[in-house]
Amino acid sequence: MAQNFKNHTRFFPLFHFVVVPLLLFNLIWSIFRVVRSYSAESVVSLVLAFTLVLLALAARLMALTVQDRLIRLEMRLRFARLLPPDLQARANDLTVGQFVSLRFAGDEELPALTRKVIADNLTDRKAIKQLVKNWQADLLRA
């Protein structure tokens, strides 16, 4: 199946369907244990469970941040190849969210779409992605 706006979101099954549910179950279980039989051990378990949830979220955010940096670099290379000089200079003002959203645009529509994003100051990732007509799949996302 070809990737498009409707199906471009990606789940990493090990993270989204195994790790997160297990960590949340552990957190809920630890809360239950503190409420049911308050003790130093149950409080320590709760703090550890909460810390593990934070660790998983931090790891996910770090992976997404690195991914966004790579996308920004990739887009700067595409911009250097595809955009006219006047638009290249203005493209430096794009936010990371705008870069990330524009990556789905095919080469032939990227200049016009970039011009529209800048001219209309579009910042909503979803709105920008919905403007893409020739979807360029990104199957290597984290």
Report the distance separating Cα 103 and Cα 141, nearest Å: 12
Q: What is the pLDDT of residue 1?
A: 61
- Residue 93 corresponds to which tokens in the numbers above? 């003002």
Q: Tell me if 72 sits within 8 A of 103, measured CB to CB.
A: no
* CA-based nearest residue to 27, from 11, 2, 45, 39: 45
Query: What's the pLDDT band for 139 if we cut at 50, 70, 90?
Result: confident
Which residue has 């195994």 as its token pair?
A: 18
Task: Quote the percentage of the chain above a pLDDT of 70.
Answer: 99
Helix boundaries (H) for 38-124 = 40-82, 85-91, 96-102, 110-119
Which of 127 and 9 is assigned the larger pLDDT? 127
**Of residues 89 and 4, more confidently modeled:** 89
